[in-house]
Amino acid sequence: MLAFNFIKTTCIPSFENPKGNTVSSTPLTQEELNHLERLYTLAVDDQYYELLGLEHIATFDQIRQAYHSISRQWHPDRFFRRDLGEHQEKIELLFMQITKAYRTLSSPDSRLDYDREHGHKNQKTESKKTKEGGWHKHKRGRRRRSRVERNASTQTTDSENKKKVRGIRSQRRDAFMNKVNEGIKEQNQRAENFFEAGKKDLDEGRPLQAAASLHIACKLYPENEEYKTLYKEAKKLARQEKSKEFFATAESAESFQNYHDALKYYRKAVEYEIDDPRAYARLAYLIEKLDPDPRESIKLMRIAVQKSPENPEYRCILGEIYLREDMKLNARREFTKALAIEKNYSRAKEGLKNS
């Protein structure tokens, strides 16, 4: 059995913090971006029929089916793990307009008001006018002049209505864009608040709290390079802090002979890339003790040696594993280097003699 003699470290206080691992995210495809831009333009213009992909004479069932289809496709929750960047606000506002379009067109009164405001002609009214036009077609005399005058008046009214509709659309577009800009401004302000809080925590030696705040700041304002740079720095320090916490927990468990718990927390410390070489050596020892895996033990002891190259004990431990796996040349190299560090180190002499 390998012998490990280490000086125990003092416990390090623990802090609550999310794991350091990140979830990879995929940006929108070019096809998705093109589709989003087209629908977003329709949403800004309040083009409810076109937004839902409907004709102006669509029935209630068609409106409902169209809404269920497009709302599923563009629900913000579908993009939770996607890298949306500047398009997140557009998707949220687009979904709001889709819902508003459905509520408007599915209500007979609201739909009638919408059609009047946007110059859409009702199907039943059109049918009635067609029949009346057929009846008037056969009339002569005094009705002809009144019909011409009425048509001229109608054309003038239609032209005025179209101008009015364009004006209303322009006003709504401006109001909509103002709302978007206000939302972006508010979001950027929130990001700045989290950034300042994270910066303060980092300056005062609280990297775990700093990383949490800076992570939110980067999510709210992903284009800000200053936020991302400081977050990377805080995240690295936070992982080191967390790794020390795991190491202290592992040492405590090992002192009470809870070897399986100790192995688990030493492994977590290693996963968080702890700088302390003892974590790698202790993990290698427990693996040899509980569930031997020579390849992993060799890998861990190599890291321990890299982090503490002047430690003869680590080199002897690595040499002994090599020797047991019949890798005698590697074993002799480590024992020789251990003796170069400490000339009379008996453990290295014994290992060199056996190799």
**pLDDT by residue (tens digit) across 185-236?**
888 899 999 999 999 999 999 999 999 999 999 988 888 999 999 999 999 9
Tokens (6 digits) for 172: 């709504």
- Give tens-digit pLDDT for 231-286: 999 999 999 999 999 999 999 999 999 999 999 999 999 999 999 999 999 999 99
Report field, pTM of the whole predicted structure over 0.75? no
74 pLDDT higher than 70: yes
117 pLDDT higher than 70: yes
Q: What residue spans define the domains of the chain?
A: 28-120, 239-354
As a whole number, mean pLDDT of residues 340-347 equals 95
**Higher local confidence (pLDDT), 115 or 132:** 115
21 pLDDT higher than 60: no
87, 30 contact by CB (below 8 A): no
Q: Average pLDDT over the chain, rounded to whole?
A: 82
**Higher local confidence (pLDDT), 22 or 340:** 340
- Band of the pLDDT at 2, cuts 50, 70, 90? very low
Q: How many CB atoms lie under 10 A from the CB of residue 99?
A: 12
Architecture category of domain 239-354 in CATH: Alpha Horseshoe (1.25)
One-letter identity of residue 138: H
Beta bridge partners, 82, equal 26
φ, ψ of residue 204 to 5 degrees: the values are -95, 15
Nearest to 3 by CA among 352, 351, 353, 252: 351
CA distance 294 to 54: 67
One-letter identity of residue 331: A
φ, ψ of residue 27 to 5 degrees: the values are -70, 165
* Res 129: pLDDT: 45
* Res 200: pLDDT: 95
- Give tens-digit pLDDT for 127-169: 444 444 444 444 555 556 566 566 655 555 666 666 666 667 7
Is 1.10.287.110 the CATH number for 28-120?
Answer: yes
